[in-house]
Amino acid sequence: MGKRAPSRRTTDSNTYRFFVDPAVIHGDVVELTDRGLVHQLGSVLRLQPEQCITLLDNAGRAYTVLLDQIDKHVVRGTVVEQAAAGGEPQLELTLYMALVRSERFEWVLQKGTELGIRSFVPLLCERSLLSGADAITPAKLERWQRIIREAAEQARRGRLPSLQPPQAFGPVCTSLHEPEQAVLLWEKSGVESLRSRLTRGPQLSTIFSGPEGGWSDDEHNLAVNAGITLVSLGPRTLRAETAPLVAATAVLYTAGDLD
């Protein structure tokens, strides 16, 4: 017996998208029991049987699912189509972002995910507002993961960007692979512009963005000794949450990922 064809109104570009554990997909049968997702589908979005959603397995596949049953505890459906998820840049861009005020850091996670950043690494710097990795609670990490997931779903990403545990700047510098593909955003004059760096290659894959108080002299020296290029974003002073997004946009544009 063939698969049921969803109506055109349920499979347009506005179909809701959700990242799920691939284990919920059993051949053509889907069973969702996650309380948060079940509540969102049934009580928040008020979806009904015969409507479609898109499920993403975070491994590059997207499944169009025709809903069969929605109640308080479970949502069941049938896979009617599957395809490559798409939505991912060719460039796998990593952002090492100094910990700044919580709402600003979260804004970078959200907008960076929308832009196409592949990996986020919270960075502990001398002038970070938070002094150690233990200041990042499990609840905060869970919230950050949720922000990334929701932004990825909204932006129609095919995979979830990764969020690494907080790391100290010094050890990161000394262990960085391919430092010639990394830049550190420097707020003072006397360094190469990001535009100039992008025109001469090699392709960038890593951005370091500093705290609200700026990089210390010791951190400057660590970066230079590690072979990381210091770059400027121009004569205007950008906020700590603005600079990494400007840089990421420029890098992704140059790589052809915003075409």
pTM value is 0.90
Q: Which fold has domain 94-254?
A: Alpha/beta knot (3.40.1280)
The predicted pLDDT at position 128 comes to: 85
DSSP 6: P
Cβ neighbours of residue 79 under 8 Å, at least 6 residues apart?
Answer: 3, 25, 27, 28, 29, 30, 63, 64, 65
Q: Which residues of the chain have pLDDT under 50?
A: 1, 7-12
Dist CA 243 CA 239 (whole Å): 6
Beta carbons within 10 angstroms of residue 116's beta carbon:
23
Q: Where are the domains of the chain?
A: 8-84, 94-254
The predicted pLDDT at position 7 comes to: 47
| Contact assessment for residue 64 and residue 79, using Cβ atoms and an 8 Å cutoff | yes
49-63 tens-digit pLDDT: 999 999 999 999 999
The predicted pLDDT at position 132 comes to: 59
216-243 tens-digit pLDDT: 999 999 999 999 999 999 999 999 999 9
CATH code matching the domain that covers 8-84, chosen among 3.40.250.10, 2.40.240.20, 2.40.440.10, 3.90.550.10:
2.40.240.20
Dist CA 250 CA 61 (whole Å): 28
The predicted pLDDT at position 137 comes to: 86
